[in-house]
Chains A and B, each alone.
Chain A
Amino acid sequence: MTTTVDTSLPERFRALEPWVADWDLATRVERYEKRLTKTIDELQDFYDAIAPLAEEAIAYLDTRDVNALSGEDTRLLRLLYSMIMVSYPVNIFKQPRIPDSGAAFFDTAVEPAL
């Protein structure tokens, strides 16, 4: 079995491969919905896995043309978006949903393609 290019990350960040299935998500809506399906422990596990590599990942992506990222690089960028999405729950709320937000929800009508 070969891992197809579709599921891989840039060489230096292969340690994050196990998180690709859940967190390589193209839109903010998908990331928010994913966040709500997880327990706070699961969100923490993801955060703790990616946070130590995040600074290096940002530096690496900054060597690339942001308008012409490869599939691998795009996947890495999306994992960083997902890290942002889980950062408030992990660092502040201690739960997946923002406290006292109840049924509040925003539909995303427009967001950038990348």
Chain B
Amino acid sequence: MAIQEKLATGRGKYTPGYPNLDTGPVDYEDSISEEFFQAEREAIFKRTWLKVGRMEQLPRNGTFFTREFVGLGSIVITRHTDGEVYALHNICAHRGNKVVWQEHPTNETQGSARQFACKYHGWRYGLDGKCTYVTKRNEFFESLPDDELAMPQLRCEVFAGFIFVNFSQDAPPLRQFLGEKLATELESWPFEKFTNHWSFRTKVKGNWKIGIDALLEWYHPAYVHGRFLNTNVAEAEKLVPPMDSYHYDLFTPHMLTSVPGPPLLKKKEGSVGPAKRDMNWAYRLFRAGLFGPDDVREDLGHLTPNRNPGNVQSWSNDQYWLFPNLSVQLWGRGYYITYQYIPETVGTHAYEVDIYFPEPKTASERLAQELVVDSTIEFAMQDTNTVEATWSQLNNRALQTFHLSDMELMIRQFHKVVRDAVAAHQAGSEK
């Protein structure tokens, strides 16, 4: 019996188990309407915790990096001399110049500094954003306050080494927003041991939610990625695990899906044999494939009791979806990936893929990482191209409603959570 058949549990459909999710067609106006996009920015992106980076990007006191968020603004994240992490609006209290940038004002930058000096008239700021020096101060007037001048702070909290900011002063604290279950399950992963880091960025012509949709279901792999599995689509279909072999947990507004994967290669004994133009031969040579390195490091402690909460057979990874735009994927073979989708306009988003391994101890361990990274990016390129193809057509409104299968329940949930958040915000602000 093929492993895929063995994985089937016959448990039946998932969606009906979530009574708040109906099973009818879904309107995609939320992904194409300019008006909805503006409402979504107000209701969600300006008042929800957003990941902006990791603590490894602030290795010492006095280090900083900037993030450029189209439509939300430029932010400076700093680690002050007291070790505190601050997020600051990147704006000068004098006449509004962008304070921190190098050469090209729209490019992100990083470095270390004792303080920031505005390039326009030389006002200076501490790493907590407080203005420490006004050049030619005696030329100003009594209205110039003594101690309120600052690059304004945003709320900033760190969880499991991830740095989050919130543009709103009213939002609940980060941990409360994440919820105890998600926080505990994620926190048990030793993120700090995974410092061999690759970061990939691209701009995608499509609404950010259409981008996320492409990673929320296991319906498409045989078709979009078919050639990786088998050039014959009918054969490729058989290689994708059946729907009921996945674990889904929709704890609104966040979600988890756990995914089965192929078994590890047997321990290496002897030679892999003569060279072949065959990817399976290459996988055996480099001891890795799309699901990660096969020689799993025992020293990382990553297989904690919190992994694989749904008891998935032949488990491969836990994919946590942190509302609104971040996925943290913990892989059993000893690495993790984050995917983040940052809206820029209704029809464009920035897409960031970050892959983290432990520091390799040997060349072969490093080569296995390289193969996993290459595989991940080859797949991701097919996905982004499909997203652009989808959005270009959705945008025409030739069809307005679409049919989602049980395999697509996370998409149903995701769009509903977004629509509900917008509706709740609008109801609140109309009062």
Contact = CB atoms under 8 A, between A and B. Distances in A.
A66 B227 contact: no
Interface in A12-53: 28, 44, 47-48, 51-52
A99 B366 contact: no
B200 A62 contact: no
Contact of A112 (B197, B271, B380, B384): B197
A40 B274 CA distance: 22
Interface string B357-371: 000111111110011
Contacts of B1: none
A106 B279 contact: no
B271 A62 contact: no
A9 interface: no
B400 interface: no
B342 interface: no
A100 interface: yes
B363 A101 contact: no
Interface residues on A, range: 35 or more
B285 A58 contact: yes
A107 B272 CA distance: 34
Contacts of B385: 100-104
Contacts of B201: 106-107, 109
Contacts of B199: 108-111
Contacts of B227: 92-93, 99
Contact of B367 (A84, A90, A104): A84
Contacts of B373: 28
Given A104-B385, A110-B199, A91 B271 contact: no
A104 B381 contact: yes
Interface string B276-293: 111100100110000000
Interface string A65-94: 010010000000100110011011011110
Nearest to A105: B202
Contacts of B363: 58, 61-62, 64, 66, 69, 77
B431 to A, nearest CB: 43
B286 A84 contact: yes
Interface in B173-227: 196-202, 224, 227
B233 interface: no
Interface in B279-309: 279, 282, 285-286
Contacts of A98: 378, 381-382
Given A58-B285, A91-B282, A98-B378, A66 B367 contact: no
A5 interface: no
Shortest 4 CB-CB distances between A and B: which pairs? Answer: A51-B275, A61-B363, A110-B199, A106-B200
Interface of A: 28, 44, 47-48, 51-52, 54-55, 58, 61-62, 64, 66, 69, 77, 80-81, 84-85, 87-88, 90-93, 98-112, 114
Interface of B: 196-202, 224, 227-228, 271-272, 274-279, 282, 285-286, 352-354, 360-367, 370-371, 373-375, 377-378, 380-382, 384-386, 388
19 contacts: A28-B373, A47-B277, A52-B275, A54-B285, A58-B363, A58-B364, A61-B364, A66-B361, A66-B363, A77-B363, A80-B367, A93-B227, A98-B378, A98-B382, A100-B386, A104-B388, A106-B202, A106-B380, A109-B200
